[in-house]
């Protein structure tokens, strides 16, 4: 299995079961590489959707990808704490400078007090029929969902109290200054977009 280099910049690309690109994050900094999982961080990075639409993330994020578990975890830092977004997804593969995985529709959204909600169950049922998920795959994904929920309840792994904060601190200490030029470009994009909107509104 190939691994990204510690400290390198990678893309993150999610696909669907049929091989179509689902979503791509332009940039993430690799903070940890191990046999158990890898950790990456980014903020204000460009995201491209399957329909070509692009947008930019607004908050810092720390993501954890596993080589042997069928989910990944994203922690997003907001004013009131860490929010989590978990994707039921294939184990990651690293190739061509990108962390790649297959997204299997089901998501878990978690707020700072660790209350959670399972999302996109109807989408999962639709894609299961449309893309012909096998019975074995369906059973595996549901089993992995239960494993993920148990981890959330017990606050283990990425959900441990200081996990995300510690890795984000590692990012700010080691790499934030190196990435400052990229972030400034995104900040300028937001400023120009806001200024253009105000100008256009004034025209009316």
Q: Is 124 helix (H, G, I), strand (E, B) or coil?
A: helix
The answer to whether 1 and 29 are in contact (CB under 8 A) is no
What is the per-residue pLDDT across 158-170, written as a single tens digit (0 to 9) for each?
A: 999 999 999 999 9
What is the per-residue pLDDT across 76-98, written as a single tens digit (0 to 9) for each?
A: 999 999 999 999 999 999 999 99
Q: Is 145 helix (H, G, I), strand (E, B) or coil?
A: helix
Judged against a pLDDT cut of 50, whether residue 203 lies above it is answered with: no
Pairwise CA distance, residues 89 & 101, whole Å: 7
Mean pLDDT of 149-176: 97
The answer to whether 167 and 30 are in contact (CB under 8 A) is no
Structure tokens at 113: 């007090």
What is the per-residue pLDDT across 94-109, written as a single tens digit (0 to 9) for each?
A: 999 999 999 999 999 9
> How many Cβ atoms are within 10 Å of 81's Cβ, its own excluded?
13
* Annotation says 69 is catalytic: no
- For the chain, domains (ranges, CATH) are 9-178 (2.40.380.10)
Give the pLDDT band of residue 185 (cuts 50, 70, 90). confident
Per-residue pLDDT, 15: 99
137 or 1: whose pLDDT is higher?
A: 137
Give the CA distances from residue 111 to residues 42, 80, 152, in Å, rounded to whole numbers and listed in that order.
20, 10, 11
Per-residue pLDDT, 181: 79
Mean pLDDT of 126-152: 98
Burial 3-28 (b: 16+ CB within 10 A, else e): ebeeeebbbbbbbbbeeeebebbbbb
Determine which helix (DSSP H) or strand (DSSP E) holds 189, and give its type and residue range. Answer: helix 180-203
What is the per-residue pLDDT across 9-20, written as a single tens digit (0 to 9) for each?
A: 999 999 999 999
Pairwise CA distance, residues 166 & 123, whole Å: 34
Let me know the angle formed at the C-alpha of 92 by 87 and 95, rounded to the nearest 5 degrees. 135
The structure's pTM equals 0.90
The residue annotated as part of the active site, out of 23, 27, 132, 180, is 23
């Amino acid at each position: 299995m190939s691994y990204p280099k510690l400290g390198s910049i990678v893309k993150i690309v999610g696909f669907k079961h049929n091989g179509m690109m689902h979503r791509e994050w332009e940039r993430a900094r690799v903070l940890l590489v191990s046999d158990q999982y890898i950790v990456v961080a980014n903020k204000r990075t460009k995201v491209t959707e399957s329909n070509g639409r692009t947008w930019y993330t607004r908050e810092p994020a720390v993501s954890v990808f596993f080589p042997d578990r069928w989910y990944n975890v994203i922690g997003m830092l907001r004013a009131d704490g860490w929010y989590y977004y978990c994707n039921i997804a294939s184990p990651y593969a690293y190739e061509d400078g990108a962390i790649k995985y297959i997204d299997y529709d089901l998501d878990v959204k978690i707020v700072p007090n660790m209350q959670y909600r399972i999302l996109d169950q109807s989408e999962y049922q639709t894609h299961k029929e449309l893309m012909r998920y096998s019975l074995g795959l369906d059973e595996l994904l549901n089993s992995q969902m239960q494993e993920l929920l148990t981890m959330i309840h017990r606050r283990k792994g990425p959900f441990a109290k200081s996990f995300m904060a510690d890795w984000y601190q590692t990012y700010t200490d080691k790499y934030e200054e190196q990435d400052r030029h990229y972030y400034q470009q995104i900040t300028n994009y937001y400023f120009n977009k806001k200024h253009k909107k105000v100008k256009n509104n004034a025209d009316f």
